[in-house]
A and B are shown apart, each in its own frame.
Chain A
Amino acid sequence: MAGIELQGLVKRYGATQVVHGIDLTVADGEFVVFVGPSGCGKSTTLRMIAGLEDIDGGEISIGGKVVNRLEPKDRNIAMVFQNYAIYPHMSVAENIGFGLHTAKLDKAEKRKRVEQVAGILGLEPLLERRPSALSGGQRQRVAIGRAMVRDPTVFLFDEPLSNLDAQLRAQMRLEIKRLHQRLGTTIVFVTHDQVEAMTLADRIVVMRDGRILQVGAPMELYEKPADVFTARFIGSPTMNVLPGRVVTEAGIATLALGEKPVALPTTVGTVPADVLVGVRPQQLRVLAGDEPADLVLTGSVAVIEPLGSETFVHVEFGGGLILASAPAKSPPAVGAAVRLGAPVAALTLFDAASERAL
C-alpha cells in the first residue's frame, strides 16, 4: 500500500516537451483517473510512474520513497496495458504466474497464488487455455490477474478497456471498481473516455497538452469545472457554451442573453463584460407555452434524439446548434419554434478571454 507523489514532472522527446511540470498527490488506496484528449500526455505520465520512461525533470515518489532512478521492478507496481501484453505461447496459468517468476516461492505456493487470483477474477476454468482461445473480456481479466498476482502497492492501467465493445466495457468497468473496493490498492487509471473517468474515479485528473487543468472528485468537476475545456469534456452530452455580455450597474450584474436579461446573483463578484455561458443540456429544458424561467432562449428545432428516458433536442440558436432536453413523451416537432429555459443556478460563467471559470 502506498500513495504516489509527483512534483514538477517533466518529459521531453528531443526538443518537444510533452509533459510540462505536473504536480499531483495520490493518496494511499485512492482510485485516480487521468483523462484528456488523445496525445495530451496521459500515457507518458503513467509510464514515467511505472519507470518505463526516463524522467527529464521533477520527482516521483511512491510510498514516500523517491523512485526517479529505480527500475520498474523495484517500484512495486503493476501495470495493465491496452493490448493486454499477455503472452500467446503461454497458458492462462503461466501468464498469471509469470509475474511470480522472480518471487522466492516454491512451485506449490506459486500455483496457490495463481489459483487464488484466478478465483477472484473467475478464471479458474480457463487456467490451462491459451490466450488465443479466450474472449476479449477474459484476456483483459488475465492481464489484470497478472498484475494482481504480485500483490503490488500500486496498479497502473493504460486504457485497459478501449479494445472492448461497449457492453463488455461497462461490465469490466464494474469489475475493476469492485476489485478496487475489495483490494483497496492505489490505482492510477488512464482513459480518454469521460464516462469511464466519472464512474471509476475517486478523483479525476483532467489533462490537456501535457498540463493538469483540474483535479477533483467526479461531481466536483461536473458541477464546478475550472474552465471551458473541462466543462465540455466532463459530462455527457457536452455542455452548451454560448457567448454573452454582462452589464454591471450599481453593483448589480445582469447577463444579456436570450429573451430577457438575467440577473446574476451578487456572489459572482466582479465580472468582465465578455463572458461564455455554460449550461448543461439536462438543465436547459424545452418550456411549455410561456412558462417563465431565468434564462430563456428561443429557436427552431433542428434534430430530435429520443433516448427512451428523455429526449434531446438540437435547437438552432445564434447561428449554431444548442442541445436541450425535452420530456420523453411529448417532444416538440422538427421545425417548431421552441422556448428553452434554465435556472440561473444552472449557469456556469467563464471569462471569454481566458476561458477560466468565474
Chain B
Amino acid sequence: MSLSIDNQRSGGRFWGGLSLRRKQVVWAWAFLAVPILFYALIRFYPTVEAFYLSTTNWNLFSKPGFVGLANFERLWADVVFWQVFRNTVLYLAIGTPVSLALAFTIAYHLDRVRFLHGFIRALYFLPFLTTAAAMAWVWRWFYQPVPIGMINDLLSSFGLPQQPFLRSTSQALPSVLAPAIWAGLGFQVVIFLAGLRAIPNTYYEAARIDGVSNLTILRRITIPLLKPTIIFLVVFSSIGFLRIFDQVYNMTSGDPGGPLNATKPLVLMIYQTAFSSFEMGYAAAQTVVLFLVLLAVSFLQLRLLRDR
C-alpha cells in the first residue's frame, strides 16, 4: 500500500498515466522482485560459482588455481565414480516406478474407502513428516540379525535363512531404497488422491452404463486423465531419487556408502569429497555432473510424457 501512496505522491503523473494493464504489470514485478533477488543470491550465484570451481583445484586452504577440465578427466577415470553413478541410476530406475506404482495402487483403493479414510491417509503421510535420521535408525534396527532384527526374526520363524541386508553388497542398495520409498509414499498418495478426486464422477457413471470392465476404465479413463498428476510425480520423485542422501547416510553411518560403496549415491560422494577430503574443485565437478544428469532426466521425462 505504501508503495502506491508514494507513487501517487511523488510520481503521481507517471503512475496516473499508466494503463490498468501496465499498472498490474508493475505491481506483479514489484512482488516478484524480492523472491527473484533472493533466488539470484541464494541459488543462481552458488550454481554459477560451482561451475567455476569445477575448473579449479581449490581445497579450502589455498587460493583456487585454474586447472581446466582436469577434474572431469579425473572423474571419468575414477572407478568409485562409476560405481556411484551406477548406484544413483539404480535408485532412480527402481525407486521411481516402484514408488509410483505403490502410491497409485494405495490411492486408487483408498479413494473408494469412506470408512477411516482420513485416518488411513494420515498414516501414509506420517513418514513423510518424520525426520529421515530417526526413521533410518528404526529401519537399521529392522535389518539387524536375530535376535534383534525384526525381519530376520520373522524369516527364521518361518525357517527361512538369515539375510545380511545392509552388510551385503547386493542387498544393501534395495535395503536402503525401501525406507526411502516408504518415506515418500505418503506425499505421492496424497497427490494421487487429489488427482483422482478431480476426475468427474459422471465419467465413471457413463462408463458403467456402457458396461466396460474396471480394468478398461482404469486403463482408458483413469490413467489418461491422471496424466498431469503422473508427470508431476515422475519428475518430482525422479529428482528426489537422483538426489538421495539422508537415507543412505543415516542407514550406513558407520561406513557411509555401504560395503564396497554398494549404496553410495552421487550426493554422498560429493559430500565426502568436499567435507572429508576438502577437494572442493573435484566436488564441484561432481555437482556439475549431477546437475547435468538432473537436467537431462527431467527434460527427457517432460518430453516423453507430454501430449504428442
Report the nearest B residue to A89, measured CB to CB.
B224
A182 interfacial contact with B, CB 8 Å = no
Q: Does B225 contact A (CB under 8 A)?
A: yes
Q: Is the CB of B202 within 8 A of A72?
A: no
Closest B-chain residue to A152, C-beta based? B209
Are B210 and A98 touching (Cβ within 8 A)?
yes
Measured between beta carbons, the chain B residues less than 8 angstroms from A208 are: none
With A52-B205, A89-B224 as contacts: A101 and B200 at CB distance below 8 Å: no
Q: Is A11 an interface residue (CB 8 A)?
A: no
Minimum Cβ distance to chain B for residue A358 (Å): 44
What is the 8 Å Cβ interface bit string for chain B, positions 211-242, against chain A (1 contact, 0 not)?
Answer: 11100100011001101000000000000000
| Contact A81 B211, beta carbon cutoff 8 Å | no
Complex Cα spacing A81 to B225, Å: 19
Min CB distance A132 to B, Å, is 11
Is chain B's binding surface mostly helix, strand, loop or mixed? helix
Residue total for B at the interface (Cβ-Cβ under 8 A): 18
Residue A150 interfacial (CB < 8 Å)? yes
Chain B residues contacting A73 (CB-CB under 8 Å) are 208-211
Residues of A within 8 A of B206 (CB): 79, 81, 85, 146
Name the residue on A nearest B201 (C-beta).
A85
- Tell me the residues in window 80-118 of chain B with beta carbons closer than 8 Å to chain A beta carbons: none
Q: How many residues of A contact B (CB 8 A)?
A: 23
In the complex, whether B76 has a CB less than 8 A from a CB of chain A is: no
Q: Complex Cα distance A74/B202, Å?
A: 18
In contact, A72 and B211 (Cβ under 8 angstroms): yes
- Find out whether the CB atom of B211 lies under 8 angstroms from the CB atom of A74: yes
Q: Does B299 have its Cβ within 8 Å of any Cβ on chain A? A: no
With A87-B221, A101-B216 as contacts: A150 and B210 at CB distance below 8 Å: yes
Q: Is B225 a contact of A72 with CB atoms below 8 Å?
A: no
Which A residues are in CB contact (< 8 Å) with B225?
87-89
Contact in complex: B203, A87 (CB < 8 Å): yes
State in angstroms the CA–CA spacing of A98 and B212 once bound together.
9
CB distance from A98 to the nearest CB of B (A): 6
CB-based nearest A residue for B202: A85
Q: Which residues of A contact B213 (CB under 8 A)?
A: 102
Q: Mark B187-207, 1 if CB is under 8 A from A, else 0.
A: 000000000000010110111
How far apart are the CA atoms of A71 and B208 in the complex, in Å? 8
Interface residues in A1-26 (C-beta closer than 8 Å to B): none
The reply on A99 being an interface residue by CB < 8 A is: yes
A102/B203 in contact, CB under 8 A: no
Question: What A residues does B210 contact at CB under 8 A?
Answer: 73, 98-99, 101-102, 146, 150
Please give, as numbers and ranges, the residues of chain B lying within 8 Å of A51 by CB-CB distance: 208-209
| B-binding residues in A (CB < 8 A) | 50-52, 71-74, 77-79, 81, 83, 85, 87-90, 98-99, 101-102, 146, 150
10 closest residue pairs by CB, A with B: A73-B211, A85-B202, A85-B206, A89-B224, A72-B209, A99-B210, A81-B202, A101-B212, A72-B208, A102-B211
List residues of chain B with CB under 8 Å of any chain A CB.
200, 202-203, 205-213, 216, 220-221, 224-225, 227
